[in-house]
Amino acid sequence: MKVKICGITNIEDALLCCEYGADAIGFIFYERSKRYISFESAESISKQLPPFVFKVGVFVNEVAEKVNRATKQIGLNAIQLHGDESPEYIERINYPVIKSFSIDNNFDWRTVDTFKNCGIMLDTFSSDQIGGTGKSFDWNLIPEKLRSRIILSGGITIDKLDIIFNEIKPAAIDLSSSLESLPGKKDKQKVIEFLKRFNELRSNQC
């Protein structure tokens, strides 16, 4: 299982996450987000990271050509899409794509089956915000056949890691707000404690 820490806005937080074993970090390029970062700032951080850390850019309904240009400029490894992007849109992206789906009790799981050309993230539905809600959806809704393939997001905290490892068993988890002292700034102690516990559980599975 992999772990991605999203909502990175500064080099100190990025290096902290890398030091304690995060597999990936995420930059949010959606201007309405509390964790928004400019392409230029993300590029500066990206150049200072260890070479094997995976870097992901989060976009919402952005022009595909702009996504491709920014990805190359910043040195991203993958794209994460949180808008209304279609499978046809994904074909126009020149890099690996993760498509996020907002889940509530009425979600039509057949929608996921139409996306064959990308990774799948499951996040919590919110009517007024895209990601970063700090709330979980009912993980029991996730079809068994999907669980080992997904990236799980939404309200992930250290006290839920045992359930995630023992029951859900996703390919990866993604979290942001639960490790913050305020939007866009990570809490050092929370990051260290979470990643130490995550890596302890991961090592026990090997």
Residues marked as catalytic: 6, 123
Any idea which residue has 């976009």 for tokens? 59
What number of other Cβ atoms are within 10 A of residue 145's Cβ? 8
Cβ contact 89:64 at 8 Å: yes
- All residues at 6 or more sequence positions from 177 whose CB lies less than 8 Å from its CB, including other chains: 7, 132, 133, 134, 183
CA 27, CA 160: separation in Å to the nearest integer?
24
- All residues at 6 or more sequence positions from 21 whose CB lies less than 8 Å from its CB, including other chains: 3, 195, 198, 199
What number of other Cβ atoms are within 10 A of residue 75's Cβ? 13
- All residues at 6 or more sequence positions from 76 whose CB lies less than 8 Å from its CB, including other chains: 27, 46, 55, 56, 57, 70, 95
User: Across-strand partners of 5?
Assistant: 25, 175
> Of 98, 166, 176, which is closest to residue 135 (Cα–Cα)?
176
